[in-house]
Amino acid sequence: MKTLQANAGVLTNLEVLEFLRARGATSDPMGCLGAVAPSECKVFDHLVNTGACNQTRGAIDEFLKRCEKFKLAKAEKLNIINLRPSNQALIDPIIEYCEKRLTKDEARGIDEVQELVDLVLEVLPPPPAKPDEEMQALEETPTEKLMEEN
Amino acid sequence: MFCLSLIEHNLPLPPHLLNRPLLDAIKEELERLFLDKVISNLGLCISIYDIRTIEGGFVFPGDGSSTYKVVFRLIMFRPYVGEILCGKLKASDANGLHLSLGFFDDIKVPVHLLPLKSRMGEDGIWIWEHECGDLPMDLDEEVHFRVTKINYPPIPVEQDANANPFSPMEIIGEIYGDGLGLLSWWAD
């Protein structure tokens, strides 16, 4: 076995999810026995519970276009798309040297971190609601935006 | 979390697969060989993404199987150092926390990478002493952690009978910092 290219491209969680779905994976554990291996089923189950489940390529393209002004690294954009942080505290560990790169000036009313958070909340759909937890604001705008795009 | 790797492999195709369409037979053999296995420094193989070229089909003397040189791409699970991932807290002991991603279980957060003022309770649950109060790290909670290192320990020659099963890929994570740790600490 020879590795020709260790890194031939990164994939977002959405792309892996779509790939497995196209192969025939479903959430039903018995349904996907013939088409996909049990290990692939486990990956599918994990991804279906994250924010990737409701995303579309259009939403990701729009997010990438609109976050150009923040000058984020490719890895940071990928992390944000996969994780979908919903407030400033959650975005902070993703971006290196956050305080230096994204200005926060209350006197002039500029808060780039909050702008980035608002962009994430607006463009990327939230993860599916967990049945036994009370998650606030899950039924809000992002699903309407998705309907517009479709 | 996921990336593609381009691999070239000399694949012997066993004779009982020779009546199948070539592409299907090769894909099945590749899945049998690579799926759910860890390749050192490349990560955990999730799936065969596509097959780029198939060459050869030679039968070597004394061999019943034909050998093909296949170039293909694999979807690998290989987080980069510094990536933030979200896992479930599976176990907690004196060495630290054990997290799980469902399909991957060997994620450890050692004691020195926990938040600064953490202490262990009597029931084995770690507690973060925050000024707003004590925050326990209960099991089955969603935890955000940063990947600090990925280890690929070599296969041990001998193992004790009651040692932990060997894990070929280990992720060391940290939850020291703003926005890391239990999701319930930071969610609004």
Reported pTM: 0.84
Q: Inspect the interface and report whether the beta carbons of B35 and A39 lie closer than 8 Å.
A: yes
A30 touches chain B (CB under 8 A): no
Question: Mutate which of B103, B146, B174 to disrupt the A interface (most A C-beta within 10 Å)?
Answer: B103
Query: pLDDT confidence of A145, banded at 50, 70, 90?
Result: very low
Question: Mutate which of A11, A43, A72, A135 to disrupt the B interface (most B C-beta within 10 Å)?
Answer: A43
- For B115-135, the pLDDT digits (tens) are 888 888 888 888 888 888 888
Neighbour-count burial for B135-168, b at 16+ CB within 10 Å, e otherwise? bebeeebbbbbbbeebeeeeeeeeeeeeeeeeee
Which positions in chain A touch B188 (Cβ < 8 Å)? 86-87, 136
Which value does ipTM take for this structure? 0.86
Q: How far from the centroid of its chain's Cα atoms is residue B71's Cα?
A: 23
- For A36-57, the pLDDT digits (tens) are 888 888 898 888 888 778 888 8
Query: pLDDT confidence of A30, banded at 50, 70, 90?
Result: low
Inform me whether the pLDDT recorded for A1 exceeds 70: yes
Higher-pLDDT residue of A114, B83: B83
